[in-house]
Amino acid sequence: MGGTANLSVSVLVGQVRSTATGVLTGIGLSHEEATDAVGRVAQDEPA
């Protein structure tokens, strides 16, 4: 069950990151800029 829970969280995190990248590209950032911005924010979050 622990592996399944970790997989579910990973899928959810991936979906949120994808959505955030999509929103940023929708407001005018390039895909690279949006991906970099989302990555920087993700690195700032405590584990």
Which tens digits make up the pLDDT trace of 1-45?
Answer: 456 778 888 999 999 999 999 999 999 999 999 999 999 988 876
Which pTM was predicted? 0.76
CA within 13 Å, CB half, 9: 7
**Three-state DSSP class for residue 1:** coil
Structure token pair of residue 33? 């800029």
- Structure confidence at residue 46 (pLDDT): 58
DSSP 8-state code for residue 46:
-
Backbone φ, ψ for residue 18 (5° rounding): -65, -45
